[in-house]
Amino acid sequence: MRAPDDEVNTMERLVAGKVLIVDDVATNRIVLKVKLAAAFYDTIQASGGKEALDIARKVRPDLILLDVELPDLDGIAVCESLKNDPATSDIPVVMVTAFRDMNRKMEALRAGAEDVFWKPLDETVLLARMRSLLRARETAQQLGLRDSTYRELGFSEPAQTFAGRALIGVVADRPEIALPLKRELSAFLDDSFVVLDRETALAPRLNGPVPDVYLISADLDRPGEGLRLLSELRSRASTRYSSVCVILPAEAREAAAMALDLGASDLIEASADPEEMALRVKTQIVRKRQSDRLRTSLADGLRLAMTDPLTGLHNRRYALPHLARIADRAAGAGRQFAVMVLDLDRFKSVNDTYGHPAGDAVLVEIAGRLRSNLRAVDLLARIGGEEFLVALPDTTPEAAQATAERLRRVIGERPVPLPGGAGAIPITMSIGLALGPGRPGGTVEDLIGLADRALLGAKAEGRNQVTVGLSAA
């Protein structure tokens, strides 16, 4: 029998998010609470604007449902305060109103609201919109988390701003529909536009960039065709990260919910004012650039985490698991591989005599010489101050030793230039070599240890030579 604590933990895992409901009418709050609870949302309630601001700052809900008309503080003013406060600016705000006033709707969107819903609320579309907004917020939170982690690890680099004009693709089945829309939006957006049909939207854009934002008619040349196009765009690598806004009639509630769950970034009513459309597109451009920054940050973070910043070589963090994969593959194929530990001779005297900038220049030059004398499949990493690791997959003892001797020669045969035209200094390198797979049951760390002991032997025997680990000879 499952313990009560297990049931609580299961329910906690089912909670879809924490939602702050702001409405001065208690009945409205209770009805919303019941509907959201059925969809596994945890809810908090506030009856006024000031209370809502206080709760939002203390609790930081995942999403806020905010009534426009409040007794103490106007809902639009509450939204502006939330969006201007760094502690709450990333919380999605969906505003709700009983009055179909387009001017108030525009005020809400300008204040930063992600969407505006009329009462009575369409539960199906509202829940789909909430799911979409929470997915978008997760992207923003991951971006902040990665940035802070990279800063703590010392990998911080200037953030990419992705400035410049966005490209907006207008997709319709006929030019006479797309061109007027383009003209209307151009009055509010200083961005580039391209008119596409379904086929050109899906074709690879060999002569230009992929649109940052797609505006798609829900039906195109037949009912539901726009949603099928949305699904295709989301499934393709080249367009997966573009924002997609679907234009559809106000009464198309089922199509609206489906579009959001298929990955639409936003919905735009076909009868919407061009300024509203432009505001929504601007929001999607910001989110697209934010998403781009997240992916770039991830790629840069992985590169920085695995790369020695001075030489551009892989570091120990990358080298050890990669060497383990080389060993596993060699064992499966019944082949040999080699491991070398290389160390510059008397490198400390370089730093002491010429300074650390000269020492850094030497390391960069040595890394370049080693890299240019190894195969693309070989592993080269800097694993210490002046210590390097090389792994040669699929090799023989004779070939491995010949490679080690070649590396030793290319280091010692030509002096290394010092920065600023301060001359050149001779540098030599000692190398310890071990052959894998090594002893039965051994690990790659054991093999590195064997190569390291061979390196110590090379140092003891006069430096500038290659020594082979005894058990691998």
Instruction: Return the closest-CA partner of residue 201 out of 180, 240, 222, 170.
Output: 170
**Beta strands of 176-318 (E only): which ranges?**
192-196, 213-217, 243-248, 266-269, 314-315
Two structure tokens written together for 349: 């005297």
In three-state secondary structure terms, 388 is strand
Report helix, strand or coil for 438: coil
Q: How far is CA 212 from the centre of its chain?
A: 17
Residue 47 CA: distances (Å) to CA of 28, 87, 247: 10, 21, 34
- With beta carbons less than 8 A apart as the criterion, state whether 450 and 471 touch: yes
Tokens of 467: 């020594």
Neighbours of 210 (CB within 10 A): 17
For residue 167, list its beta bridge partners. Answer: 192
- Rounded to the nearest 5 degrees, what angle is found at the Cα of 467, between the Cα atoms of 463 and 468? 165
DSSP 206-222: TTSPPPSEEEEESSTTS
DSSP state of 471: G
- Known catalytic membership, residue 386: yes
Catalytic residue, candidates 225, 386, 405, 445? 386
Q: Which tokens in the block code for residue 266?
A: 């936003």
Sign of CA dihedral 54, 57, 63, 68: positive
Give the burial class of 70: count Cβ atoms within 10 A of its Cβ; 0-12 exposed, 13-18 middle, 19 or more buried: buried
CB-CB contact of 49 with 92 (8 Å):
no
* Three-class secondary structure of residue 387 per DSSP: strand
Q: CA 47 from chain center: how many Å?
A: 38
Please give the distance of CA 335 from its chain centroid, rounded to a whole number: 38
- What Å distances lie between residue 464 and 66, 319, 456, CA to CA? 74, 24, 12
Asked if residue 120 has a cis previous peptide bond (ω within 30° of 0), the answer is yes
Instruction: Go through the chain and tell me how many residues it has.
Output: 473
Q: Is 34 exposed, middle or buried (0-12, 13-18, 19+ CB in 10 A)?
A: exposed
Tokens at residue 80, please? 């502006």
- Kindly list the catalytic residues: 386
